[in-house]
Amino acid sequence: MRNPYAHAVVTAFAVLAFSLGAHAQTKWDLANAYPATNYHTENITQFAKDVDAATGGKLKITVHANASLFKAPEIKRAVQSGQAQAGEILLANYANENPIYALDGVPFLATTYPEARKLYDASKPAMDKLLAAQGIKVLFVVPWAPQGIYTKKEIGSVADLRGIKWRAYSPATAKIAELIGAQPVQIQQAELSAAMATGVIESYMSSGSTGYDTKTFEHIKNFYDTQAWIPKNAILVNAKAFDALDAAGKAAVTKAAADAEARGWKVAQEKNDEYKRLLAERGMKVHKPSPKLDTDMRQVGGIMQADWLKAAGADGAAIVDAYKKK
Q: What is the pLDDT of residue 277?
A: 96
Number of domains within the chain: 1
* pLDDT for residue 303 is more than 90: yes
pLDDT in tens, 47-90: 999 999 999 999 999 999 999 999 999 999 999 999 999 999 99
Q: How far apart are CA 227 and CA 147, in angstroms?
A: 5
pLDDT in tens, 236-245: 999 999 999 9
Question: Which residues have C-beta within 8 Å of that of residue 143, sequence separation ≥ 6?
Answer: 113, 116, 230, 231, 232, 233, 264, 265, 268
- At 319, is the pLDDT very low, low, confident or very high (cuts 50, 70, 90)? very high
Round the average pLDDT of the chain to a whole number and report it: 92
Q: What is the pLDDT of residue 4?
A: 46
Q: Which residues pair with 166 in a beta bridge?
A: 184, 203
Q: What is the pLDDT of residue 189?
A: 86
Q: What is the pLDDT of residue 23?
A: 52
- Give the percent of the chain with pLDDT over 70: 93
Strands 222-224 and 285-287: parallel
- Give the percent of the chain with pLDDT over 90: 88
- At 16, is the pLDDT very low, low, confident or very high (cuts 50, 70, 90)? very low
* Structural domain span for residue 233: 4-325
- The model's pTM: 0.86
Q: What is the pLDDT of residue 326?
A: 77
- At 160, is the pLDDT very low, low, confident or very high (cuts 50, 70, 90)? very high
pLDDT in tens, 21-30: 345 799 999 9
* pLDDT for residue 215 is more than 70: yes
> What is the CATH classification number for the domain harbouring 274?
3.40.190.170
Q: Which residues pair with 238 in a beta bridge?
A: 136
pLDDT in tens, 226-277: 999 999 999 999 999 999 999 999 999 999 999 999 999 999 999 999 999 9
